[in-house]
Amino acid sequence: MGPGKLRTKICVAPNSCVLFSLFRQSSFRVFGSPRMLPFKLVYREEYYLPIGEHVFPSAKYRLLHQYLLDQGVASPDDFAAPAPAGDDDVLRVHTPMYVNKLKTGTLSAREELELEVPYSKELVDAFFLQAGGSILAAEFALNNRVCVHIGGGFHHAFADHGEGFCVINDIAIAIRGMQASGRIQRAMTVDCDVHQGNGTAAIFGEVEEPFPPPPAWSAGLTAPRKPAHMKQAHKGDVFTISLHQENNYPVWKPPSSIDVNLPDGTPDAEYLAWLEKALMTGIEQFEPDLLCYVAGADPYREDQLGGLGLTIEGLKHRDEIVFRFARNNSIPVMVTLAGGYAVRLEDTIRIHANTVIAAKTVFSK
């Protein structure tokens, strides 16, 4: 058993994470490098999606980890390694039939096609590992006010199927896990990926799929340009907020508690004003114990799968707004990365790294 596995075992139960962090704090003085962040980053060397040549840059986890070290943003002791989620964790969100199909390789041809990534057992293992990362990130966020998961954000996975590069919904799994352990009762998701968080909205809104279900994949979308507008439809113990490009995947957008539908090319100032408005509207209606920030890098104006007009600076400002909102309202915040398909991979890495830097800026105060 290597050190990563030992760490992993120690951290499975929420309370034992306290022991783990005490162990780490006492050990790094002798053996480790000084920590540079007032919170943890969750990451594991095995983070990689086995999908071959693909628009999803699955090397981004490793590259971001290295970038944060190289730039002096974080030291090795700022990172914590998760264990894979267990079946019991995943079954709090996903149907037994779907989980069984994933584990036995018996998805239908259509179900495999909807994933938009090639199915394999290794792919399922990779998603279970990242779901474990989001569970650990939620635990650390509750202990330290904030935690950034260098992974996760698979918001297109529904209870009974996956789609849009998402096999299982790590955000929902983390929330249901924290509720099951009694650590939280209510959570809020703030999804700023350019694509609507359809899986998360459906899981927590318990909406029925329309019949017949519309195509899930991203091709061939055309729609007339509409001005930005906000829709509200809240129910249940998780409040879901999604800001996204309206004229983009998914075609069918199940209602979130708040959906902000943005027109193509929305620039920084307009986007940030809508973000502030959505957060204020949300907190007037709902008091969460945990905030799950889905910090997609794909609202970037040079994203291959996005059509909004945000700059790298605008995206960093977005991160700061969400972190200040969480800090000022005393809501612990866990962050997941979600999408990012910039023409230049280094832009995607920089946008994700800026999220860590924004958390450091806001939570160092």
Specify the residue, 89 or 193, whose C-beta has the smaller distance to Zn ion: 193
Minimum Å gap between C-beta 15 and Zn ion is: 35
Specify the residue, 133 or 306, whose C-beta has the smaller distance to Zn ion: 306
Specify the residue, 23 or 252, whose C-beta has the smaller distance to Zn ion: 252
Three-state DSSP state, 293: strand
Q: How many CA atoms lie within 13 A of 9 on its CB side?
A: 5
User: Which is nearest to 334 in space by CA: 298, 363, 297, 300?
Assistant: 363
Specify the residue, 139 or 298, whose C-beta has the smaller distance to Zn ion: 298
Minimum Å gap between C-beta 196 and Zn ion is: 9
Specify the residue, 116 or 193, whose C-beta has the smaller distance to Zn ion: 193
From candidates 114, 191, 298, 319, binder to Zn ion by CB under 5 A: 298
Count of other CB atoms within 10 angstroms of residue 302: 15
Window of 39-47, 52-60, 142-150, 194-202 that interacts with Zn ion by CB under 5 A: 194-202
Three-state DSSP state, 257: coil
In angstroms, the CA 314 to CA 216 distance is: 30
Instruction: For residue 34, say if its preceding peptide bond is cis, omega within 30 degrees of 0.
Output: no
Minimum Å gap between C-beta 339 and Zn ion is: 3
Strands of the chain, DSSP E: 40-42, 79-80, 146-149, 187-191, 229-232, 238-245, 258-262, 290-294, 333-336
From candidates 193, 246, 319, 347, binder to Zn ion by CB under 5 A: 193
Residues in contact with 273: Cβ distance below 8 Å, sequence separation at least 6, in sequence order = none
The residues in 336-365 that bind Zn ion, with binding defined as CB under 5 A, are 339
Beta bridge partner(s), residue 294: 191, 336
From candidates 65, 149, 156, 195, binder to Zn ion by CB under 5 A: 195
Specify the residue, 140 or 300, whose C-beta has the smaller distance to Zn ion: 300
Minimum Å gap between C-beta 6 and Zn ion is: 35
Amino acid at 340: G
Phi–psi pair at 88, nearest 5 degrees:
-65, -35
Minimum Å gap between C-beta 300 and Zn ion is: 11
Minimum Å gap between C-beta 257 and Zn ion is: 19
Specify the residue, 289 or 302, whose C-beta has the smaller distance to Zn ion: 302
Strands of 72-121, DSSP E: 79-80
Minimum Å gap between C-beta 354 and Zn ion is: 17
In angstroms, the CA 97 to CA 95 distance is: 5
Amino acid at 145: R
The residues in 302-341 that bind Zn ion, with binding defined as CB under 5 A, are 339
Residues in contact with 25: Cβ distance below 8 Å, sequence separation at least 6, in sequence order = none
Specify the residue, 14 or 306, whose C-beta has the smaller distance to Zn ion: 306
Minimum Å gap between C-beta 82 and Zn ion is: 22
With CB atoms as reference, the residue minimizing the distance to Zn ion is 339
Size of the site for Zn ion (CB under 5 A): 5
Site of interaction with Zn ion (CB under 5 A): 193, 195, 296, 298, 339
